[in-house]
Structure 1
Amino acid sequence: MADGAATAAPAGGDRPPTTVAADLLVATKRREDPDPFLGTLSGYGHDDLAPLRTDRGRALAFWINLYNAGTQLLLERRPETYDSPLRFVRFFRAEALAVAGTGLGLDAIEHGILRGGRSKYGLGYLPRLPWPFERRYRVDRDPRVHFALNCGAESCPPIRAYDPDRIDDQLDVATASYLAGTVDHDPAAGVVRLPRLFLWYRGDFGGRSGVRRVLREYDAIPADADPEFRYRSWDWSRAAGKFA
């Protein structure tokens, strides 16, 4: 998907869902009218979305791009929900967009679909009670997704447009880039300071041992290091438009 590909789209299934999702994200970046793309997404039928149930790359790219576009739409159209003391209810559960006529919030996309039906609570170990739409489209968990999703906070990773054909390479780049900027290893003290995502979603990474594997795989700590984990505070300052 080229950055210049965003064009008005007719409602219905005339264009591939992954293309429309990517073009919606570009429209939010450029602050162009997103409504033609939102109408197309809402107008799809489940038959139009069938490839998302069998093609992992398409599913990941589609839902990641929609999540990040949905964040930008909410920050622009309903910023008061983010600034509310009840942010975790009002912002993350607010309808961000609709797919196949079903209204979806950020929680539904992230926890119900991209995390394969896991609760946002319980450090990544607890299941989420799914509703039928989530059950239909949920994907197997890939912890690298956490480094691709932007919920509007300053501490979130930057936003990129994801391509089904390059999804694994892109997720590797996003993970390596985010860890390079947020992990601080002090070998003398035997301590590594980590982004709080590793605490909130520890179960997604396979527990503490899984977190260590990820840190070693992406050269955030040496292969023979076994440091104590400490977690950085999360900066919830609103940061709209944080594109890579």
Structure 2
Amino acid sequence: MKVKIISLSRKRTPMKKIAYLLLILCLGISCVGSGGLHYDQLTNGEKIEATRSQLDHSNYEALLKKYVNEKGFVNYEGLAEEQAKLKSYLTYLSVNPPRKDWETGEQFAYYINLYNASTLDLIIDNNMPASIKDIDGPLGQVWLKDFIVVDGNKYSLADIEKGVLQKMGDPRIHFAINCASYSCPKLLKTAYTGKNVDELMDRAANEFVNSDKNDLSDPNNPKLSSIFKFYTSDFTAVEPTLIDYVNRYANKKINVSATVEYKDYDWSLNKQ
């Protein structure tokens, strides 16, 4: 999910300080590139049409149905016993990257599943830490760790999220991808496909907005998930204001003049 820069306890040399500041600037303007990964960009709120399936995600879905509960929490210990199947699925994605003749819906499904399955694999590979943030990466950032292999090249979670999914132009991806943390939108028990991606992203958005990750009880002073703070510009790219976007899905509408507060983000592991 969000790449949050944290301070390093050790003293930095001038060159390290410069590199660190450049990284902050780079991430702040989402300069993470797609690295040659193919994707189509939506414009003006264009709808994702149901498309034919290029790949078979059923093996991954079988794992989700077996080890993810209705609240989206994961039985990592059980999944670890079948990690070979998860890795086999990731290898399948790796050797079948999106091509230019793939329709947009199938591309969305590919990258959402790639992000979520890779995150599950990462957690197991690192002995199921208390938080995904406990896993090391460049400058202490797990999201910058290059471990996702696609077509022979290595990518990070930030590459997939910022370099591809965000640039595809549908902010519902922030409810579809899961960062293995309690405050994240829940991991669904169904794999995304070209046929169901629009429906599932709508479902994910509806469930997240109306979940306890947000408090909409006071329409004049809602307390929203920090996800809406992290990615405000993505949401306001398709609606005039953040409140307008939330009201797309909220069962209880927020007043347009409401004062919005943001809830603290809980990064503890989303384990059962």
Same fold at TM > 0.5: yes
Q: Work out whether residues 60 and 164 of structure 1, in 8 Å CA contact, stay in contact via their aligned partners in 2.
A: yes
Matches within 5 A, 1:147-162: 147-160=175-188, 161-162=191-192
Matches within 5 A, 1:162-201: 162-181=192-211, 182-187=213-218, 190-201=220-231
1:23 and 2:59 aligned: yes
SS, match of residue 144 in structure 2:
coil
Higher normalized helix content (fraction of residues): 1
Amino acid at match of 2:59: D
Of the structure 1 ranges 158-167 and 66-75, higher mean CA displacement relative to structure 2 is found in 158-167
Of the structure 1 ranges 159-168 and 202-211, higher mean CA displacement relative to structure 2 is found in 202-211
**Separation in 2, partners of 1:222, 1:35:** 42
Matches within 5 A, 1:91-240: 91-116=142-167, 140-160=168-188, 161-181=191-211, 182-187=213-218, 190-206=220-236, 209-222=240-253, 225-240=256-271
Amino acid at match of 1:168: D
Q: Work out whether residues 17 and 41 of structure 1, in 8 Å CA contact, stay in contact via their aligned partners in 2.
A: no
Compared CA separation, residues 154 and 195, structure 1 to 2 (3 A)? same
Compared CA separation, residues 89 and 164, structure 1 to 2 (3 A)? farther
Compute the displacement of 1:94 (Å): 2.0
Unaligned runs of 5+ in 2: 1-52, 68-77
Q: Work out whether residues 112 and 177 of structure 2, in 8 Å CA contact, stay in contact via their aligned partners in 1.
A: yes
**Separation in 2, partners of 1:210, 1:26:** 39
SS, match of residue 260 in structure 2:
strand
Q: Work out whether residues 60 and 167 of structure 1, in 8 Å CA contact, stay in contact via their aligned partners in 2.
A: yes
Of the structure 1 ranges 170-179 and 218-227, higher mean CA displacement relative to structure 2 is found in 218-227
- Tell me the TM-score normalised to structure 1 length: 0.70
Residues 34-84 of structure 1, C-alpha deviations (whole Å, 9 max, x = no match): 33333333334x6xx315x65111011111011010110110002566315
Report the counterpart of residue 125 of structure 2 in structure 1. 77
SS, match of residue 98 in structure 1:
strand
SS, match of residue 241 in structure 2:
helix
Compared CA separation, residues 194 and 227, structure 1 to 2 (3 A)? same
**Separation in 2, partners of 1:234, 1:67:** 20
- Tell me the TM-score normalised to structure 2 length: 0.63
Report the counterpart of residue 56 of structure 1 in structure 2. 104
Unaligned runs of 5+ in 1: 1-15, 117-139
Query: Identity rate of aligned residues, in percent?
Result: 25
Residues 186-210 of structure 1, C-alpha deviations (whole Å, 9 max, x = no match): 447x201100010000000017943
Compared CA separation, residues 36 and 86, structure 1 to 2 (3 A)? closer
CA RMSD of aligned residues (A): 2.8
Amino acid at match of 1:201: Y
Report the counterpart of residue 41 of structure 2 in structure 1. none
Compute the displacement of 1:222 (Å): 2.5
Residues 150-169 of structure 1, C-alpha deviations (whole Å, 9 max, x = no match): 11111111112212112111
Amino acid at match of 1:222: K
